[in-house]
Amino acid sequence: ETAELLARRQAHLAGAQKNYYAAPPQIERGWKEHLFDVEGRAYLDMVNNVSILGHGHPKLAAAISAQWLRLNTNSRFHYAAITEFSERLAALSPDGLDTVFLVNSGSEANDLAIRLAQAHSGARNMLCLLEAYHGWSSASDAVSTSIADNPEALTTRPDWVHAVASPNTYRGAFRGPDTAAGYLGAITPVLEGIDAGGEGLAGFICESVYGNAGGIPLPDGYLAQVYAQVRARGGLCIADEVQVGYGRLGHYFWGFEQQGVVPDIITIAKGMGNGHPLGAVITTREIARSLEKEGTFFSSTGGGPVSCVAGMTVLDIMAEEKLQENAREVGDHLKARLAALIDRHPIAGAVHGMGLYLGLEFVRDRTTLEPATEETAAVCDRLLSLGVIMQPTGDHQNVLKIKPPLCLGIDSADFFADMLEKVLDEGW
Ligand code: PMP
């Protein structure tokens, strides 16, 4: 049945839309941090950064269904939920970032943020980082430089995209105490090139924690210095918080807090709807006005009543169940368990990240840092057979992408660490 359904999928769904795993289990049901296949087998879901509350939350399901029965419509009508949800998002954001656009996804949010930066500055050029993913729509794809997601990424960017090396503190050209200075120095000629072109800089977009490489925190002071240089040229700074923001880091609600900066535009999606399509751009009133010059902004379903109720209920449940605190406590515990693996297994090169946003990086050699790509794929396959869903990330696909629902229990964190230890003990 599963194989037959997969064959039918291949006949009519676009091939570029790939599954996790070559022979994936057919998922039927979810509950908290677990998924169940059609044969009733349980899997611990360690990669799901969309379902932050966990799967099958009854309170969220009830709120969505009640609102759906009462009213759902496009966002040009006047109803309470869109006002109330915008107020709550503004209250969660730094002072001054009090104006909200509601959309349906992270790609849309980043597309709109880039459009705002271009409209506000009157310039087209965008600065971004290498090995990044910001979405699939035209502008968000243009600044997505990850060769793991798109092998052609570095040769097919439009001329207004200027990508600079991500400040990776573990691998890359500059390491140790000079990381920030080295990578900042590498930006200078790029900015000088933009200055010389005379067309100005619209803005800079990056994740506040280096996501695609497994959640590596940016070096201290990095964002403050890049932001200063971008703003000196009239550009806007966009924080893509689609993955790292909204409490996942445990120690911070927003990723940019860790760098002590305040962006001009925040983009969010994924967990804010817990799987219900929902995204947002949060900015200042003055920046938001730059679109009024162009006309109206309108997203049919972005900010519809059901979406707004879903978003507010997610925030309620996060507070009631103290999910950010859970991400901090369970995340710290899990990080310590993974760090212990480094002492026993040479292949485990480093554990990155914080909260429930962790990356375990596999290397063949701790001096050359040669990525253990095939080994990482084999570890993920073996983990599936032990009932754990885990995937690789990064340009070398050698980092375990550890981003479970924020309700992850200590027992589940231990189960994951135990299974990983078992796999490493078996093979490497
Ligand atoms: N930004 C980041 C950092 C992401 O990880 C993603 C999705 N993986 C996106 C944007 C795009 O979001 P969506 O898939 O909702 O369009």
145 CA distance to ligand 1 centroid (A)?
13
Q: Please determine, for residue 128, whether its predicted confidence score (pLDDT) is greater than 70.
A: yes
Ligand 1: nearest atom to the Cα of 110? 10
What is the model's pTM? 0.97
Pairing of strands 201-207, 125-129: parallel
From 114, 150, 243, the mutation candidate for ligand 1 (largest count of ligand atoms within 8 A of CB) is: 243
Q: Please determine, for residue 386, whether its predicted confidence score (pLDDT) is greater than 70.
A: yes
Ligand 1: nearest atom to the Cα of 211? 3
Ligand 1: nearest atom to the Cα of 269? 15
**ipTM over the 0.95 cut-off:** yes
Residue whose CA lies nearest to ligand 1 atom number 12: 106
Q: Please determine, for residue 151, whether its predicted confidence score (pLDDT) is greater than 80.
A: yes
230 CA distance to ligand 1 centroid (A)?
23
**The pLDDT of residue 177:** 74
416 CA distance to ligand 1 centroid (A)?
25
Of 4-8, 307-311, 398-402, minimum mean pLDDT range = 4-8
Q: At what angle do helices 58-70 and 305-320 cross, to 10 degrees?
A: 160
Across the chain, mean pLDDT equals: 95
Confidence of residue 26 (pLDDT cuts 50, 70, 90): very high
Question: 406: Cβ–Cβ under 8 A, 6 or more apart, which residues?
Answer: 52, 53, 54, 247, 248, 271, 318, 323, 324, 326, 327, 356
Ligand 1: nearest atom to the Cα of 105? 15
Q: Please determine, for residue 428, whether its predicted confidence score (pLDDT) is greater than 70.
A: no
Q: Please determine, for residue 295, whether its predicted confidence score (pLDDT) is greater than 80.
A: no
Q: Please determine, for residue 150, whether its predicted confidence score (pLDDT) is greater than 90.
A: no
**Distance between CA atoms of residues 72 and 70, nearest Å:** 7
341 CA distance to ligand 1 centroid (A)?
30
Average pLDDT value for residue range 394-415: 97
Query: Which residues does a 6 A CB cutoff place in the pocket of ligand 1?
Result: 105-107, 110, 133-135, 207, 211, 240, 242-243, 269-270
340 CA distance to ligand 1 centroid (A)?
31
Domains of the chain from N-terminus onward: 2-53+322-427 (3.90.1150.10), 58-320 (3.40.640.10)
